[in-house]
Amino acid sequence: MSADQAVMLRIHSGIPIVDVLGEWLPNVTDALTEMVRTLTDTGHYDIVVNVQRAALTGVAALSSLSRAAQNVRTHCGHIDVVGTKDQVNQLILSKVGNVFRLAVSEETAICRIKRMPILSSAKGCTARPVG
């Protein structure tokens, strides 16, 4: 799977969601970092990164986003990482979880960002491959 197929951008409830799919290859990590950088350069400071469909091994590669996370925080925003329980536990153990806000569902992350419940699931979101 190429990097442009492994990193997808979509919008849910007005919040950009970056999906990471498959293995954590170097080009996938680079594409993720570039996507988050592009979003912050265009003024998005609340971003959700969904790694639920990414491989458990290598999830610590999110540490490459630590500089972007610090930039987002200077604008009073956050990068929320959504993962499975195992992925969240792995992030906590690798100390990467201290850089991001962690959640086990997109709805939880979006509710935290908007400070209100969302009414629809992600089925109607827009999606497009990076590239």
The mean per-residue pLDDT over the stretch 68-85 comes to 92
| 117 — pLDDT class (breaks 50, 70, 90) | confident
DSSP string, 83-129: --HHHHHHHHHTTGGGTSEEESSHHHHHHHHHTS---S-GGG-EEEE
For residue 129, is pLDDT > 70? Answer: no
Looking at residue 60, its pLDDT comes to 84
For 90, the domain range is: 3-119
Total domains present in the chain: 1
Structure tokens at 20: 């990471």
Considering the entire predicted model, what is its pTM?
0.85
Q: Identify whether 67 is part of a domain.
A: yes
Looking at residue 128, its pLDDT comes to 52
Q: Identify whether 103 is part of a domain.
A: yes
The mean per-residue pLDDT over the stretch 84-97 comes to 89
Q: Say which CATH number the domain at 52 has.
A: 3.30.750.24
Q: Identify whether 126 is part of a domain.
A: no
For residue 116, is pLDDT > 90? Answer: no
| Lowest-confidence pick of 16-30, 40-54, 105-119 | 105-119
Looking at residue 66, its pLDDT comes to 87
Q: Identify whether 125 is part of a domain.
A: no
For residue 122, is pLDDT > 70? Answer: no
Q: Identify whether 19 is part of a domain.
A: yes
